[in-house]
A and B are shown apart, each in its own frame.
Chain A
Amino acid sequence: MKQNAPVAITGTGCLSASGLSLEENMNSLFSGIRNVDVPTGFSSTHTSKYPVFEIKGNIPGLTDDDRKKYSRTSQLGLAAAREALKNAGLNAENLSGLRVGVCMGTTVGCAMNDEPFYRDFRDRLKPDMFPIKKYLNSNPSSAISCEYSLKGPCQTLVNACASGTDAIGVGTSWIRAGICDIVIAGGTDELSRISYNGFISLMITSERACMPFDKNRKGLNLGEGAAVLILEGEDSLKKRKKDPKAFVLGYGTACDGYHLTAPHPDGKGLRRALKEVFADSGKTPEDIGFINAHGTSTPDNDRTESKILRELLPGIPFLSTKGYTGHTLGAAGAIEAAYTVACLEQGRIPANAGFSETDPELCVTPVTENTEILKKTALSESLAFGGQNSVLILSTEGI
């Protein structure tokens, strides 16, 4: 594919178990804090306790009305959008004259899986329709669009664990094509008992805190959270006299066509996605200061990803931030993109939490301490169910 124009990022917002704002998240990451514990939001009958990264306490900036009306996933998305818009100096008033699109990734946010409702339905107890109504209100993109009375297009991507990355890629396209002045792009997912059971059934969930890229890694921990980037076109930037904080330089995506739940052992789709993102951004591996890897801590994911890091991106410092957030599924790519922007701004990356011993099979070692980064461009990777592979190149060059 051809090279395309950079797209400005003017705001960021993020919530996870590491903090309720992007700033809080970064402070936790650079302090090595890991808030991983047994779930408190729900119970299960598994004989082992599988720990999770849960957001404790109230989600900031929400009204009682928001809490009643929207699913937790949409509430998280809305909170991240509020932080990002504020960070970009935008509010409902100055958005009203602009073509503002919303593009969010999710997994849980589009699934109707209310257990009490369905249990009653099965038992012929004619359950009340409130959970259905809430589900129909809670499309993560529509919820944000509706709260700010936006008029642009909405798109909720459900590409499993790559959704957040893809949403930023699609938002970037909308700005490039002139479809929107501003795009609110990101991802959001709540911890759900249903996906908790699902991931445990796949036997890729760890009974201990996850250890991305470590020799003794046994699987992932689920997490929850949301992140949003505000993407903005040239005209709007000029009108607002606003300087970007970073840029999306490129987006690449390709499928493996191999297996529903396992990555292609040779990373077929990831190779193509990388080729595409370098073409789209006009950058080469030499320009990349660090890689925010997917690094879920499952044996398969980390094996495939390491092979590609070793072969195509050798010697570039890399880390997985899943050791601080858990795997936040549809939010992961967005949270990691927000972290990548913050790391580029600070010129450093945190240690890969949970790692202690290099796996001789992988032959790669993530950064083990907070590390200074001089280059202004970085790569963020997502690999997903269904054989989805998506990557972004983000940069603070020229800022």
Chain B
Amino acid sequence: MAVNKEELKEIIIKDLFLEDITPAEIEDDAPLFGEGLGLDSLDAVELVVIIQKHYKIEIKDMDEGRVAFNSINSLADFIGEKQAS
């Protein structure tokens, strides 16, 4: 089942306290960290918790997280794959 990207964006905005932006402002393929959305290392570990909490997927290692957290697209793909397996 494909992951609802709009829902994912809403979760990220709420749980990472990004309430100054709207889901529409997050582009699906824009980087979440650094230049793009401007997230940092503390957001990365919070994102691990968010994925666990909302999608019941455990990310044990940041090396795994780093690839998944590239963009909304990569994150949605990652969640989709994990849910299918």
Contact = CB atoms under 8 A, between A and B. Distances in A.
B37 interface: no
Contacts of B42: 202, 259-262
A203 B58 contact: no
A203 B40 contact: no
Contacts of A259: 40-42
A47 interface: yes
Contacts of A58: none
- Provide the main secondary structure of the chain B interface: helix
Contacts of B45: 201-203
Contacts of B60: 48
Contacts of B58: 47
Contacts of A262: 41-42
- Provide the main secondary structure of the chain A interface: loop
A361 to B, nearest CB: 16
Contact of B62 (A48, A201, A203, A261): A203
Interface residues of B, number: 9
B43 to A, nearest CB: 11
A261 B41 CA distance: 9
A201 B41 CA distance: 12
A270 B40 CA distance: 22
Nearest to A202: B45
Contacts of B48: 203
Contacts of B62: 203
B49 interface: yes
Interface string B34-50: 00000011100100110
A31 to B, nearest CB: 34
Given A259-B41, A260-B42, A262-B41, 6 more contacts: A48-B60, A201-B49, A259-B40, A259-B42, A261-B41, A261-B42
17 contacts: A47-B58, A48-B60, A201-B45, A201-B49, A202-B42, A202-B45, A203-B45, A203-B48, A203-B62, A259-B40, A259-B41, A259-B42, A260-B42, A261-B41, A261-B42, A262-B41, A262-B42
